[in-house]
Chains A and B, each alone.
Chain A
Amino acid sequence: MSSEVKAVTGRGIPLIGNDIDTDRIIPARFLRCVTFDGLGEQAFADDRTQTKGEHPFDQPQYQGANILVVNGNFGCGSSREHAPQALSKWGIQAIVGESFAEIFFGNCVVMGIPCVTASAEIVGQLQTILKNNPQTSITLDLDAMQVHCGDTLAPVFMGEGSRQTLMTGTWDSCGQLIAQIDQVQATARQLPYMDWATRVA
């Protein structure tokens, strides 16, 4: 049901700093919604206000960029899928970083957005290239597990399971999970607490 994600090519946008949390990616007040539409404009709302046009998401040279390059522990904090949804609605299709918070990473993958890690040195190089030459083309190749940007060609990493779901177009897990309903029922029958619960209710 979902499409294969084998490579993402386009332009990069550097966002420097460790521990950028989901409250910064999408402040809580924008979670008062029943759809994800419209979250794109609100990505990094408070950081953008405070940096008065100097935030990469506001800078003209990065408009239309689709690969975000970040540092360590990106997306820590809340489980809100609103965070990757906001990035995706803004135009981000892949993220390269030093490391990612677990839930954020999982949310991205299930939306078909690859998050790959690279060494601090490589991330630094990419960020410098994109700062100096924002128009440089950047490619994330999930088959070769490499990122290519200007003179930099470097290895990137991602858990094999997640990589497979992207490569084979099965990142939208729902279809696969419901295909196993019989086994799900069988597993449920073996759990002792299923029995107690029905007797209580």
Chain B
Amino acid sequence: MSALTLFDKVWDFHTVGTLPSGQTQLFIGLHLIHEVTSPQAFAMLRERGLDVLFPERTVATVDHIVPTENQARPFADVLAEEMMQSLEKSCKDYGIRFYNVGSGNQGIVHVIAPEQGLTQPGMTVACGDSHTSTHGAFGAIAFGIGTSQVRDVLASQTLALSKLKVRKIEVNGKLPPGVYAKDVILHIIRILGVKGGVGYAYEFAGTTFEQMSMEERMTVCNMSIEGGARCGYINPDSVTFEYLKGRDFAPKGEDWDKAVEWWTSIRSEEDAVYDDVITFDATEIAPTVTWGITPGQGIAVDEAIPTTDTLPESEKAIAIEAYSYMHLTPGAPIQGTKVDVCFIGSCTNGRISDLREAAKFAQGKRIAQGVKAFVVPGSERVKQQAEAEGLDKIFVDAGFEWREAGCSMCLAMNPDKLQGSQLSASSSNRNFKGRQGSSTGRTLLMSPAMVVAAAIKGEVADVRELMLQEAVL
């Protein structure tokens, strides 16, 4: 059993008591809600005549269904409009802070909470969305929950949970050029598998994560859930504090000093005990691309699609399913695979640093003919910042569309969708069958820089080659 880790400390701080079932009743410091998983929760509250216990600890926004082109109300999609109105009404009825479209603060829930300083070290965070693990980048314990649990948090500010085990994933060393946070997490999931993390919280430790910016850390923690781990976190350090300082909800003045002291004290101890420890070497990680229908089906961009005889027994059936769904040939190189759509955005890679990195590669280039490419900022603030830096212009000049903030084609609950069996190079987090809005649509996950490389060549390309060409020019 783990001891003295950040997970253990934060868990203990938030423990209200033990329920008769033996589960822990855990206090939730920050509750985030959006339009998809909360309407039914509010309906359950109303049905039972319950109130929201700590309305000031819940923050709402809209992201999944928001169109990224025409945002005029009422939305063209009547169902989407109904969901909007439902959330607007509930927030008003219960006195919940709501960042609506056009407020200047709207965006993907996992982008806006960090950028406003709502997410802080040592907090427990819950949201009716599996990528809540993102907030672990701050040294918070952040859980994705279902709708009945959203109801529980609204009504009691607590959840009934069983404690997780803690696995330390240590990555050391400097990432080679062209290799990003996204590649690190895709690599980890490739090796540990999509169910490797079930029952665990992942603590990401080691010099590679220490050298990462907060936004890179968020990319890593965001995809913990794709590896089966309900939450992932990184111990808070000076990078975390630097990022938080001055943000809207960050503590100020004397409180700031007390906060830093507390945040430092909750770090995992030197002699912490873990249920498991796994180590990776950063220099061995390459730009990674998925070829299949789970985020664990990834390979280095210069590798071939694995044949079944190279796969462990347990991976064979899903590989065969993937070859046929993806129309890809085992043994063939992934590089050179034609792409139809290129998508940059999502809570994994829709932050300002992602757009800056993508723009570097798009600058002065032109996307290949026949490719549809678009950039969707993760929030209204990201959009505004990108425009202030002229990134929108770089993208548009290169042939990308520049959109409004939202989840967009990450899961296509809005007008942004793949058509038929189109193949997309996507900076998002899931390549499940039908994920991007067409039941035969195909998704290849990769870093934003790799998406730009694919857009320019019209096929899966190695961003390192693009870097070499740049250096020669």
* Chain A residues close to B by CB (< 8 Å): 17-19, 21, 23-24, 27-29, 31-36, 46-47, 49-50, 72-73, 76-82, 84, 99-103, 106-107, 110-111, 159-162, 164-165, 168, 170, 172-174, 176-178, 180-181, 183-184, 187-188, 190-201
Contact = CB atoms under 8 A, between A and B. Distances in A.
A192 B258 contact: yes
B239 interface: no
27 contacts: A17-B317, A18-B314, A23-B411, A24-B434, A27-B439, A29-B437, A32-B79, A34-B39, A34-B40, A79-B145, A80-B37, A81-B146, A81-B147, A101-B228, A103-B145, A110-B148, A168-B21, A170-B19, A170-B20, A174-B48, A174-B156, A177-B159, A178-B155, A180-B158, A191-B13, A193-B123, A197-B249
Contacts of B129: 78-79
Nearest to A49: B439
A79 B230 CA distance: 10
A175 to B, nearest CB: 9
A76 B321 contact: no
A76 B195 contact: yes
Given A18-B318, A110-B146, A174-B156, A191 B48 contact: no
Given A19-B294, A197-B57, 14 more contacts: A31-B64, A76-B228, A79-B145, A101-B228, A102-B199, A106-B149, A162-B162, A181-B53, A184-B158, A188-B27, A192-B122, A196-B258, A198-B56, A200-B249
A29 B80 CA distance: 10
A161 B20 CA distance: 8
Contacts of B158: 177, 180, 184
Residue of A47, A73, A102, A106 with most chain B CB atoms under a 10 A cut-off: A102
Contact of B156 (A19, A21, A180, A201): A180
B318 A187 contact: no
A187 B21 contact: no
Interface string B430-473: 10111101010000000000000000000000000000000000
B299 to A, nearest CB: 17
A47 B65 CA distance: 23
Contacts of B435: 23, 28
Contacts of A49: 439
B53 A106 contact: no
A170 B37 contact: no
A29 to B, nearest CB: 7
Given A73-B195, A183-B16, A79 B37 contact: yes
A78 B130 contact: yes
B15 A193 contact: no
